[in-house]
């Protein structure tokens, strides 16, 4: 049956608050990239920053950008979404689009730092190359299937959101494992983690506020990437906080030589 879509909310004031929360998490998540960039620049080194994490991050945010731009700015895809959720709201906000595009840009900057600064023997692992190869092959095959009208463009966009969610699940593992092997978080900015934790918390908070104010609890899972991005980021952030402030708080610093951790000793200690 045909109907006129009218947006009814519990509170217009809450709508304003939702927008404010959205820009808070946008700023927190966006700024979270910069402590690592600044740290790399000051040290002229990326030792301690895992390259698998960087490569996963780039692919993940490219996929997230494709999903956000498509659902927010492409009218035909947005129409498909509302056809499936006729009484729902678009789960992608403007701040989501800007955040994801900015994330791609700043990740490129970090990768350039990894190329020009001291990096020791760090490199992207074969496993990471393999995973990323499979991911992009899947995206390419899915594109041909979509062009052949076997699936909708909305479904194709959702594939990118699922890729981003998968990347979010695995991207922190190499960095956490590297910290464990080195028994140190040196070179890995804790400022990045604290801001990421803030962004993830406010992102989930905004989704629940939108669902409550619109009586549309399905919108939380209408954008599974945004929900998963916030939830899993928070879990890994807690792990990194424990590593930095509890497990390896008194670490003197390590470097990796042929994948074997070696302690950097103090010359004064050697003289003693």
- DSSP per-residue codes, 116-184: HSB-TT----HHHHHHHHHHHHHHHHHHHHHHTTSS-HHHHHHHHHHHHHHHHHHHHHHHHHHHHHHT-
Judge whether 243 lies within some domain.
yes
Give me the chain's average pLDDT, please.
86
The alpha carbon of residue 102 and the mean position of all alpha carbons in its chain are separated, in whole angstroms, by 11
Judge whether 242 lies within some domain.
yes
Q: Taking 60 as the threshold, does the pLDDT of residue 43 lie above it?
A: yes
Domain limits at 76?
12-264
Token pair 């993830």 in the structure block, residue:
200
pLDDT one-digit tens code per residue, 209-261: 888 887 777 767 666 766 777 788 899 999 999 999 999 887 655 454 444 44
- Written as six digits, the tokens of 146 are 């979509």
Backbone angles phi, psi at 186, to 5 degrees: -55, 130
Judge whether 256 lies within some domain.
yes
User: Nearest-5° angle of CA 112, CA 115, CA 117?
Assistant: 100
pLDDT value at residue 272: 47
- Cα 33 from Cα 272, distance rounded (Å): 41
Judge whether 7 lies within some domain.
no
Please check whether residue 162 is in contact with residue 209, taking contact to mean a CB–CB distance below 8 angstroms: no
Judge whether 272 lies within some domain.
no
Judge whether 43 lies within some domain.
yes
Judge whether 270 lies within some domain.
no
| Domains contained in the chain, number | 1
Q: Taking 50 as the threshold, does the pLDDT of residue 71 lie above it?
A: yes
Burial class (CB in 10 A: 0-12, 13-18, 19+), 146: middle
């Amino acid at each position: 049956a045909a109907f006129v879509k009218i947006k009814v909310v519990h509170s217009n004031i809450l709508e304003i608050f939702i927008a404010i929360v959205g820009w808070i998490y946008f700023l927190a998540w966006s700024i979270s990239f910069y402590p690592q960039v600044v740290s790399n620049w000051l040290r002229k080194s990326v030792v301690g920053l895992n390259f698998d994490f960087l490569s996963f991050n780039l692919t993940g945010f490219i996929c997230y950008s494709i999903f956000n731009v498509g659902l927010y700015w492409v009218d035909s895809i947005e129409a498909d979404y509302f056809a499936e959720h006729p009484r729902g709201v678009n789960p992608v906000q403007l701040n989501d689009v800007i955040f994801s595009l900015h994330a791609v840009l700043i990740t490129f900057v970090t990768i350039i730092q990894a190329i020009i600064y001291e990096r020791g023997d760090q490199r992207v692992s074969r496993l990471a190359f393999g995973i990323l190869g499979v991911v992009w092959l899947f995206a390419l095959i899915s594109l041909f299937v979509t062009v052949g009208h076997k699936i909708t463009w909305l479904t194709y966009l959702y594939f990118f959101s699922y890729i981003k969610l998968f990347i979010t699940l695995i991207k922190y593992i190499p960095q956490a494992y590297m910290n464990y092997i080195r028994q140190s978080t040196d070179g890995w900015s804790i400022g990045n983690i604290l801001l990421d934790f803030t962004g993830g918390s406010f992102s989930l908070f905004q989704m629940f506020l939108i669902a409550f104010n619109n009586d549309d609890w399905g919108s939380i899972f209408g954008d599974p990437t945004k929900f998963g991005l916030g939830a899993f980021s928070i879990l890994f952030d807690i792990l990194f906080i424990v590593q930095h402030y509890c497990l390896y708080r008194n670490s003197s610093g390590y470097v990796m030589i042929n994948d074997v951790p070696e302690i950097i000793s103090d010359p004064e200690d050697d003289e003693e």
